[in-house]
Structure 1
């Protein structure tokens, strides 16, 4: 049920732990929280946002309760006073409609549970301690430490998308990482994220701005992470695995597409592959032998997907391919 203000007294108001813009990050926000009745009655009211309450550091808007109904009492929501109108509008009728709508919206939807042996209640009694121990009683906070992989992931993803967009729009066929680090539009994205990471680094004081050395190091590392992510995705690859070597854009490397298609075309006619098609790992092995030993499986898979999209090959079963 939605939490009503009738169960909260003014003295129970509390300052919110975090700004409301961060409440959606809490997995408990917006779900039906299964709380003890005692804790529901003691929820703290949010000052800036009506209808939001707090159990410790968790914003609560709805609760799910289970119990035995022992009493039902209905109370009037408000009184309506009206008079006739000279313009043909029946004010009393309109107020009655509003009253009915308000009453219908305020009704609680109760689901009757037929549970003669108290199975549901026992299950709830066992579930609640687990929920409190693992979720409700744990402090909700946003980790800003740059060593947190989750905090590093979003800046990397942002730069990764921007690099991918840059490669496509400019028809880039190959590049060195240091060349990317000289592109203003890419550096701008990286710089914005890295300044934030440096500001929240444990060694950084709030009074001092982040040093240029800290930001430069973070920018370089962020580019490395983004480039590695693009490699794992198969967007780019290296003929020779080394950080200083040239990166090739998979979609633009026509020779790789040509070699891969020929392997599928030739080997799918062999007796052992004629029925099911060439298996993926066989194609990877042949590509590495005929084209370059440094080609990743992700890059080969991307080439196969592109060839299939262009109707040059077809997949016959799970990761088996033949010519169309």
Structure 2
């Protein structure tokens, strides 16, 4: 393991020009904007920097809010169609950003292409059919209408000058920032009333929420000298240490105790509690702190005893997960609905090297692959590769 610096630069240090502190990754979930589709202006989406200390993640900082998903509304100024997706560029008056919109996955089971409107209708149903048969016929007819609607959308894509509503993850592709759409919808707004109402709503959201820096609860801002508080402080410090030292690919727990900035946290707790801490207790504190990072999907335990690997620096793990998704997506069982992340985890653990990988690690890798457009989630926790 590479030796750490004599002092650890915490992400909570306050910039002289700012009145807020950046959040450690372990506290991102406390900010309601982190997992929400944030209604922002395109200019701000383009100007946001990567969240300090986490350049490998597609998480960006507005004030000190960690933003990964956005909700945008804009006029289409560029249309590019590919085999499986549309690339739209939308303009809301503050900036222009590209949006990757995947085509609906529609497969015909009849070989006739688009089905006539009279197909699967219930008008010719026998009067002697029972109610269950009629309900099934009506259900089947409604599903066929949905399929035909999807096919029409494919044949009549969004055009230049249309107003498009997009929700998705922020990502970078070939050095350009764009949005990988999880949802997109054509908005009919001839009088621009929808756009005006949304702009007014955004201005209010900026004033009430976005421009107000997020503050941690006092119980977490202060120095908690309890054992749980020391473990939490160690967990945050180790996460920051790993993010600021890119040469650290793996480590053992005993090596962390040689980093002065980490041991300073333990010594501070010892002084505040006016007690002594032996080597066994120190090892226990570090073990619990690293266990917390493992649950968060930041590190995983390798097949070697006490050796932990930083997942963002393990290209083999990422490629292995992608290979599994690609292979399983070819099977009829998963070709439509995709495969669950638990199934991907089971396949991954057949490799002895990744036998200690936790479910959160796999979810983290899948989220990263989705942000890179290598895989797409067909529904919650189900993924498929293209």
TM-score by length of 2: 0.39
Task: Point out which structure has higher relative CO (alpha carbons under 8 A, 6+ apart).
Answer: 2
Instruction: Decide which structure has greater strand share.
Output: 2
TM-score by length of 1: 0.46
Instruction: Decide which structure has greater helix share.
Output: 1
Larger radius of gyration between Structure 1 and Structure 2: 1
